[in-house]
C-alpha cells in the first residue's frame, strides 16, 4: 500500500518548570492511502503529542527536536506556517475530543462549516457552499439539515456536535483525517454510530484516518492497523487481527485484559494494569513498562529493547521476543502463561 504519510524518528519534548518532558521519543510509522491506523495508549503515552506534531498544533512550550513527517513529498516539520495553514483543514483535517472547544458558540453551525469551505475555496459562491454544507450534514446524518444549518452549537447534543465537527473536517475532502479521542465523551450507542459513520465516510471519500484512542475495543471496530504507544515509544505495531489474536507485548496484553467483553453472558472482572506511567522528565533507561510488567526480568531495566519482527507487518519491543529469550513458564511468548 502506498504511504500517504511517513513519520521518521519523530522526537517531541515540552519544556516545563520541572524540566524537559520527553513526550515522543523517536517514533517512526507510515499511513497507507485509504488506511485507518489506530494509535492506542494510556494518557501520557505520547499518542496525542504524536498526532499534534503532524500539523504542528503543539503548545508554545513544545519542540519537535528531531525527525521528519513526510506528506506528499514535503516535510511538515520544515514547511512554512503559510504552507501549513493551506494544508490544515484542506488536505489534512483534525477532529478533537471536545467539539465545543473547536466550535464558535456565537455562530450558527452551518455558517461555520461554510466558512471552512470558503477558506480553501474563496471563489465558490455562497449558495454553492450552503448546498455543500447541506449535503455534508445529510451524510453525517444530522436530521433536518436545512433547519439545523441555522442552529447554534449549544442547541446540539454532544453526539450531534461531533457530527458537525466530522462534517467540517470532511468539508474540503481531506486526504488524511486525524481524530483524537473523538468518541471518548460520548455514550456507547452514539460512539458506535459515529465509528460506523467514520468507516462509511472513509470508504466513500477514500481518505486515510489516524484514530487516537486509549481504548483497544474502539480500535477493533474501526481500524485496519494499530500502533500501541507507551512512554513516548511505539511498543507494538500490527494489523488489527494480529493484535487481538497474537498480542506480542505484555503492555498490549494488559490493555486487552481491560476491554469489557460484550459477548460474555456474565461480565468478567476487568483487570486494569496496576501502577502508573513513567515520569517522562526522567524516562527509564530500560523498557519503560518494566515497573508495571509482571514478566519483567533483570535485563529489562538495563536497556531499551529493539524491535523484533514477529510476523508480517508485526513488530514489538520486548526482550522476551528475542530469539535467545528463555523459553520457560514465565515467558508468555515461548509457551509460558499469558
| Residues within the interface to ligand SF4 (CB under 6 A) | 249-250, 287, 289-290, 293, 295-296, 300, 305, 318-320
E strands, 240-326, in order: 308-311, 314-316
Burial of residue 275 (CB within 10 Å: 0-12, 13-18, 19+) is exposed
Strand arrangement of the beta sheet that strand 92-95 belongs to: 92-95, 176-180, 208-213, 36-40, 225-230, 233-239, 314-316, 308-311
In angstroms, rounded to a whole number, what is the distance separating the alpha carbons of residues 94 and 179?
6
DSSP 3-state of 149: coil
In angstroms, rounded to a whole number, what is the distance separating the alpha carbons of residues 112 and 115?
5
Q: Minimal distance in Å, beta carbon 288 to ligand SF4?
A: 8
Q: Which is nearer to ligand SF4, 198 or 290 (CB)?
A: 290
Q: Minimal distance in Å, beta carbon 300 to ligand SF4?
A: 3
Q: Which is nearer to ligand SF4, 71 or 289 (CB)?
A: 289
- In contact, 283 and 207? CB cutoff 8 Å: no
Q: Minimal distance in Å, beta carbon 44 to ligand SF4?
A: 17
Q: Which is nearer to ligand SF4, 38 or 305 (CB)?
A: 305
- Residue 171's alpha-carbon distances to 7, 161, 174, 304, in angstroms, are 25, 15, 8, 43
DSSP 3-state of 9: strand
Q: Minimal distance in Å, beta carbon 119 to ligand SF4?
A: 46
Residue 309 is placed in which grid cell? 519482527
**DSSP letters of 287-302?**
-TTGGG-TT--HHHHH
Q: Which is nearer to ligand SF4, 179 or 300 (CB)?
A: 300
- In contact, 290 and 301? CB cutoff 8 Å: yes
- In contact, 319 and 287? CB cutoff 8 Å: yes
Q: Which is nearer to ligand SF4, 94 or 226 (CB)?
A: 226
Q: Minimal distance in Å, beta carbon 257 to ligand SF4?
A: 14
Q: Minimal distance in Å, beta carbon 167 to ligand SF4?
A: 41
Q: Which is nearer to ligand SF4, 129 or 317 (CB)?
A: 317
Q: Minimal distance in Å, beta carbon 283 to ligand SF4?
A: 13
Q: Which is nearer to ligand SF4, 110 or 254 (CB)?
A: 254
Amino acid at each position: 500500500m502506498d504511504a500517504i504519510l511517513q513519520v521518521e524518528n519523530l522526537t517531541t519534548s515540552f519544556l516545563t518548570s520541572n524540566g524537559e518532558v520527553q513526550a515522543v521519543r523517536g517514533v517512526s510509522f507510515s499511513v497507507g492511502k485509504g488506511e485507518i491506523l489506530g494509535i492506542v495508549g494510556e494518557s501520557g503515552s505520547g499518542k496525542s503529542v504524536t498526532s499534534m506534531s503532524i500539523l504542528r498544533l503543539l503548545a508554545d512550550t513544545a519542540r519537535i527536536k528531531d525527525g521528519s513527517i513526510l506528506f506528499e513529498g514535503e516535510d511538515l516539520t520544515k514547511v512554512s506556517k503559510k504552507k501549513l495553514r493551506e494544508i490544515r483543514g484542506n488536505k489534512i483535517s483534525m477532529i478533537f475530543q471536545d467539539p465545543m472547544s473547536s466550535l464558535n458558540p456565537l455562530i450558527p453551525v452551518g455558517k461555520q462549516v461554510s466558512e471552512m469551505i470558503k477558506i480553501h475555496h474563496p471563489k465558490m459562491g455562497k449558495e454553492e457552499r450552503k448546498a455543500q454544507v447541506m449535503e455534508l450534514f445529510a451524510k453525517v446524518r444530522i436530521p433536518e439539515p436545512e433547519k439545523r444549518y441555522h442552529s447554534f452549537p449549544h442547541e446540539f447534543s454532544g453526539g450531534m456536535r461531533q457530527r458537525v465537527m466530522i462534517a467540517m473536517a470532511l468539508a474540503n475532502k481531506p486526504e488524511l483525517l486525524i481524530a483524537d479521542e473523538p468518541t471518548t465523551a460520548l455514550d456507547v450507542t452514539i460512539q458506535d454510530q459515529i465509528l460506523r459513520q467514520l468507516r462509511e465516510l472513509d470508504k466513500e471519500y477514500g481518505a486515510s484516518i489516524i484514530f487516537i484512542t486509549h481504548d483497544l475495543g474502539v480500535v477493533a471496530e474501526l481500524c485496519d492497523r494499530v500502533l500501541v504507544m507507551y512512554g513516548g515509544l511505539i511498543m507494538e505495531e500490527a494489523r488489527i487481527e494480529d493484535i487481538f489474536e497474537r498480542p506480542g507485548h505484555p503492555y498490549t496484553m494488559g490493555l486487552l485484559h481491560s476491554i469489557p467483553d460484550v459477548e460474555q453472558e456474565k461480565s468478567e472482572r476487568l483487570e486494569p494494569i496496576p501502577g502508573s506511567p513513567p515520569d517522562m522528565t526522567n524516562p527509564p533507561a530500560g523498557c519503560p513498562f518494566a515497573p508495571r510488567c509482571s514478566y519483567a526480568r533483570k535485563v529489562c531495566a538495563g536497556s531499551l529493547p529493539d524491535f523484533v519482527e514477529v510476523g508480517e507487518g508485526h513488530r514489538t519491543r520486548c526482550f522476551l521476543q528475542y530469539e535467545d529469550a528463555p523459553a520457560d513458564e514465565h515467558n508468555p511468548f515461548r509457551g509460558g502463561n499469558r
